[in-house]
Amino acid sequence: MSVDLMPNRYMPGEADLAEREAGLIARRDKVLGSSYRLQYRRPVHFVRGEGMWLYDPDGRAYLDFYNNVPSLGHCNPEVNAAMAEQAGRISANTRYLEPRLVDYAERLVATFPTELDRVVFTCTGSESNDLALRIARLVSGNDGVIVSSYAYHGTSAAAAMVSPNLGEAVKLSPSVRMVALPGPAGVAEAEAPAFFEAQVRAAIKDLDRRGIGVAAILIDSIFSSDGVWIDPPGFIAGAIAAVREAGGLFIADEVQPGFGRTGHHMWGFERHAVVPDLVTLGKPMGNGFPIGGVVGRHAAMDRFGATARYSNTFAGNTVGIATADAVLTILQRDRILDSVVAMGERLSQGLQRIAGASSGILAVRHAGLFFGIDIGHDGMSASQRRAMALDVVNAMRDDGVLISTTGANEDTLKVRPPLVCQAEHVDRFLVSLQAAVASCPA
């Protein structure tokens, strides 16, 4: 979710926007649906991207420390070449024999635990979660879904109905139960597994009592929309076991933590040493090209496939497969995960130095290159912390560094740069953050 979202309509007080931008905003307002939003108090206009950088019409460079979609950097030349080459030959769908489709499926599945041995391709992460829910409900014979209290799992009708993050105007399914996370609840790490399991067992009990039953627990293993609550490793295990005892499946939403984002592991769920039943993929899979997938155990996939149909013209098309194949090749060949670990540690150490030298940073949580940075001072109200976090984000935008916020109170900085960031990018980010925190007192 974007932060400090500005409605389509041009807002008073933004007279410092260039006339060019003001005119473009006015045109947007006349033609685009009002559900669209612009990010930052002074919206940004980009015409070109390269690696870690985005460029505005005047040639000013902005360091992107937020956009995880181009996981290998904006306009990665090798990925783009693979995309263009395939588009110049043929774009076909999965109903025709295509060796590269099978080759990539084999390579992708090989990155997962051996229990996960089938893949179905989709176009987006939302579609992946939608399909995974269909599979779980058919296999379990139940309808209930357990999610974290501020989860986001997509924008399709089915995914939105299990996404509390979208706000009260978007109604949740009556079959959804939300559970609190130990971190935001202030539970000590030692008590986290028991706390989370108790939350999930209570949700299962309520679903069973109402005759709904549990089809799945659907979680993003880094809990990014809840504020990046990642520790302690393994705290979800007891809850997953409880869901399986009740006949439900574990769906791991890897749209954000997957494809090496957490550094030590290709997939975020691996930090918890629990193998899911279904894994949903999207965003970084094609470095921005719309491709996603559901990876799962063959028993569940076979049962679904025997009684239901799923395919669409674009999902698994040859251009998307060629693009995704190039992404996976680069991740493995260039040992990107090793760099993610090193840069994540450099960034973590820098953040600890800033937090120790000045107030304004309350806590830092991370795995690899996915960071949640709590902003504020002891004694601040929730609204004051949120206001300060938004001020920091916008001050950094003015300094040419892009991030966002997350969490129920939007007082956590969400930092997830492309995986190709280097030491100079980390250091530039740290300088900008320190200056922004110093310039945004309570």
How many percent of the chain have pLDDT more than 70?
96
- Copy the structure tokens of residue 20: 């060019």
Nearest to 219 by CA among 292, 117, 136, 304: 136
Q: Which domains does the chain have, with CATH numbers?
A: 77-333 (3.40.640.10), 335-442 (3.90.1150.10)
Determine the Cα–Cα distance for residues 305 and 138; give it in Å rounded to an integer. 10
Grade residue 11 by pLDDT with cuts at 50, 70 and 90. very low
Greatest CA separation for the chain: 63
Amino acid (1-letter code) at residue 179: V
| Global confidence as pTM | 0.93
Q: What are 88-144's pLDDT values in tens digits?
A: 999 998 888 899 999 999 999 999 999 999 999 999 999 999 999 999 999 999 999
Cα–Cα distances (Å) from 15 to 10, 43, 44, 333, in that order, read: 10, 12, 14, 49
Is residue 5 predicted with pLDDT exceeding 50?
A: no
Q: What is the pLDDT at residue 95?
A: 86
Q: What are 286-322's pLDDT values in tens digits?
A: 999 999 999 999 999 999 999 888 888 889 999 999 9
pLDDT top residue among 408 and 441: 408
Strands of 370-376's sheet in order across? 360-367, 370-376, 412-415, 404-406
Nearest to 288 by CA among 70, 127, 108: 70
Determine the Cα–Cα distance for residues 254 and 293; give it in Å rounded to an integer. 10
Mean pLDDT on 236-259: 97
Q: Which of 31-35, 134-138, 231-235, 385-389 bottoms out in mean pLDDT, i.e. has the lowest?
A: 31-35
